[in-house]
Structure formats: structure tokens, C-alpha cells
Amino acid sequence: MHQPGHRTPPIPIKQITRIASDFFEGCRKTVLSPTLTEAGFSGSTTYIFTHKHTRRRYVLKQLPRHLSLEQILWTQNLSTFTHNQGYALLPVAIHRHGGDKFLPDATPKITKHTDGSLWQCLEYIDGKPCEVPQKHQTLLGAKALATFHKVASAFQMPLRRSFCGWRRRTQQLGTIITSEPELPESNKVNNPLHSELRALYTQFVRLIHAPETIEIIRGTLKHKMSAIHQPALKDCRWEHFLFSESRDRLTGIIDIDGAGWDDPAVDMARLLGSWQLENQTRQEKLVDLWPEAFQKYSAIVEPGADFSFRVQILHDTGIICGMDRWFHWIFKEKRQFPNMKLVLRRITHLLHAAPAAIRRLERSQTRLNRN
């Protein structure tokens, strides 16, 4: 999961325009017309800029403060590499005009504001996400991921290797079932939604720490899953996949800051799983919901052994781990997010989906034991 950040203090519009002008040679600030976009989970400020002369649009985005320069440069180079290979769905960062004495020479597509924040300017991708897909949209999404994975597998720029999605999941699940949960005190948080979040956390603890659930999770942890390890998007929920107005064409995939080395099955689990979470009445396995999407993916790139199983178990364990992370950020780290109602909605969806995910994990025990 792409780690959400803290709320970012607003920057005056004149300073925003000054930041944007760093990316345009000989461009007066009055030529750039900014529009603030709605805040998402990360808390990073994002503006859409229209160049008044060319009428071209760009996205000026503050980079999440928790990301290293190494990570930012890696995703920028990944996007440029895939674009040069003919894959044009990822946002491409444009070069900063001139040097920046506060940044190393290896960061030509980043500028630094006086408050220390880092910014990049991206080519704008038009389109809207599809919350409830038809079969055609799932096929387009699967095709986009498969093609990306095929192209990105040749990307050689090194990045500090991290555990793959399954290894991270098993570590987190092990911590969840062995840690003593602490119910947050109700009178120490100044948040109008705190009581609702606290009630959801109580439900989560009761569900996950039930003896039968702990036994299912312990059985799941025994599985040693072989996985491909290559560049993956990782944070590719349905909100990041943009479609044309008629929804017959995928126009782009945005917000790729969380990309890294992982099992490509993580991406399919995140995209199809997020679509399933939006439709709370459908609790089948992802391959049973959208078999054509898995067929489309496998027709384009070799997915490796037990692909649909890897996707499903990553999705089901991701539901549990996702709730745990959200509650940790809110109650342990006491983060404040730009849109807490959106956070509440996300957690509610995860909690609603958790019992079915646990049942699917239980049914998978036979296969895990056989392997």
C-alpha cells in the first residue's frame, strides 16, 4: 500500500505559480493558470495547470514527504523507460528548467520549494476512474497491467530491494495475531469521527482475535509462495485507472509513487480487489468474478505458477493487513488525513469484506496443506 502522509499546510497561490514556473523556460508566471484538485489520502498538494498560450495541461504535484529521493527518481525513470518502449499509460515527469542549488544534479525533474517540499510536474492525463466496471473495463485493466509488467520486466535501474508482498503480509499477520490490542481512549483525540473509528477498531479486534480466525491465519502463514520479483505498480486501486468518457478506452494510470519491486500478482490483487470492495454484495473469488480478466492477462505475459491463487491470497490477506495499517496510522501515529470521511469509508469497506476474506482463507487451507 502506498503510505498515506500527513495533512500538508496550504501554500499561497503565488508561490504555487512560482514553483510551476521552474519547469517552463522563459515562462512568465501569469501564463500559468492553476486549479487545486481534491485532496486524496496522501495529503500531498496537487494542482492542474493550464498553459495559457499552448492550452496544454500539466499536473504540479508535491511529492510525499516520506518518500526518499531514490524512490522518486526510480519511479520517474520507470515511467520514462516504459514510455520509450511504447507504453504510454504512465504519467511522465517533465524536466525542470535550469539548475537547483538545493538538489543534486541527478534530480532534473524535481524542484524544491523554500519550505523544503519537493515537487514534480507531470504531463496531464485526461480521463475518469470507473468505480463499478463492466467486463470490458476489467479486460482493459488486466491488459494494461499485463503489458506494463511485460515491458517493465526489462527495466534494469536498481532499487534497494524490499520484501515481496507475500513476505510483508506474513510478517504483519504474525504481528497482528501475537500482539495485545490496545483500545484507544475515547477522550484523548480531537476528531469528530473518532468515536466511529474507535467502534470500527473494536469490531476489527474482535474479528481478528477470535480463536477461529487466529487458527486460520496461522494456517495461512505456513504457505511458502513462490513469486516473480520485478517492477510493479503496487498501489493501483481502481481510482488510479483512468478511462475515456465512453469507458471504452483506458487513458492512463496515475499516482505511481508507490511503485517498486514486487510480485506482479500484487497489482492484479489490488486492482480487481478494489473493484470488489466497491461492490460489497459480491464475495466470490476474483477469478470467478472476472475469469476473462485473468485470461487476458495470461495471454499477454507469463504470470508464473498459481497466478489466480497468488492474486486471491494477496487480496484476502491485504484486507486484514489494510485495516491494521489504517488503525495503526490513526491511533498509534495519530495522523490526520485531508479527508477523514474518505478514510472512514475505506475502513468500513475493508471491515465489511473481512469475514468473507477469512472464509476464503479457510477454504484455501486444503490447498495450502496439499502444497
Helices (H), 209-290: 211-221, 265-278, 286-289
> CB of 241 within 8 A of CB of 144?
yes
Residues of the chain with pLDDT under 50: 1, 7
Residue type, 340: M
Angle at which helices 307-327 and 265-278 cross, to 10° = 60
Beta bridge partners of 57: 50
Please give the pLDDT value at position 26: 57
Would you say residue 22 lies in a domain?
A: yes
> CB of 37 within 8 A of CB of 46?
yes
Q: What is the Cα–Cα distance from 232 to 256, expressed in whole angstroms?
A: 10
Number of domains in the chain: 2
Please give the pLDDT value at position 244: 97
In this structure, the answer to whether residues 197 and 100 fall within a common structural domain is no
Residue range(s) defining the domain that contains residue 239: 135-370
Would you say residue 6 lies in a domain?
A: no
pLDDT in tens, 84-132: 999 999 999 999 887 666 677 678 999 988 888 899 999 999 999 999 9
Would you say residue 185 lies in a domain?
A: yes
Would you say residue 321 lies in a domain?
A: yes
In this structure, the answer to whether residues 232 and 348 fall within a common structural domain is yes
Sign of the dihedral through C-alpha 150, 81, 120, 89: negative
In this structure, the answer to whether residues 37 and 146 fall within a common structural domain is no
Beta bridge partners of 260: 232
Residue type, 163: F
Would you say residue 2 lies in a domain?
A: no
In this structure, the answer to whether residues 90 and 153 fall within a common structural domain is no
In this structure, the answer to whether residues 114 and 170 fall within a common structural domain is no
Q: What percent of the chain has pLDDT over 70?
A: 85
In this structure, the answer to whether residues 244 and 313 fall within a common structural domain is yes
| Residue corresponding to grid cell 479527508 | 339
In this structure, the answer to whether residues 27 and 170 fall within a common structural domain is no
Please give the pLDDT value at position 160: 66
In this structure, the answer to whether residues 110 and 200 fall within a common structural domain is no
DSSP state of 93: B
Please give the pLDDT value at position 101: 64
What's the CATH number where 270 sits? 3.90.1200.10
In this structure, the answer to whether residues 279 and 357 fall within a common structural domain is yes
In this structure, the answer to whether residues 197 and 246 fall within a common structural domain is yes
Give the three-state DSSP class for 116.
coil
Would you say residue 8 lies in a domain?
A: no
Please give the pLDDT value at position 191: 62
Shortest CA distance to 61 belongs to which of 3, 119, 2?
Answer: 119
Would you say residue 129 lies in a domain?
A: no
pLDDT in tens, 201-241: 999 999 999 999 999 999 999 888 877 789 999 989 999 99
User: Which residues in 40-62 are b (16+ Cβ under 10 Å) and which e?
Assistant: bbbbbbbbebbeeeeeeebbbbb
Helix H or strand E segment including 166? helix 165-178
